Structure 1
Amino acid sequence: AMGCTIRSQLGLDLGATCDELGNLVVDAHQRTVVPGLYAAGDVVNEINQIAVAFGHASIAATDMHNYLDDTKC
């Protein structure tokens, strides 16, 4: 929710990086610098709305699916 405390400590404890506000840094596929760790929603630097979080989740899920599909070959 807008104006709430960013709760990114778990990601940071796992080795993810954050910006100056505490948002986890992700690439265009919602991946952090930690292999297999994705971030979406209120812990990344985007507008904090549920529709945006759903979009992040969709992007991350697609990337996970593609990664797993590639490992089967």
Structure 2
Amino acid sequence: MSVQYYVQAYFKWLFGVFFGAIILIVVNWTLTDNMEGIVLAIILFALVGLLYPFLQLYMEKRKSQKDG
């Protein structure tokens, strides 16, 4: 895998985490009128997102094995 692949995957992950965090904050703010627990949700979202490039690579390998 090239460095460019990991950079692109990281930016996709960062984009998803950023907008996911904004959505979580807005939903939490509108439903409960407080900000408790949002930091934990953002941390968990980011931890799952760290595995994204490896999961994407695995899915691409499986797809290429099915096709080939």
Higher helix share: 2
Same fold (TM over 0.5): no
TM-score category of the 2 structures, normalised to the smaller one: 0.3 to 0.5
TM-score normalised over the length of structure 1:
0.33
TM-score normalised over the length of structure 2:
0.34
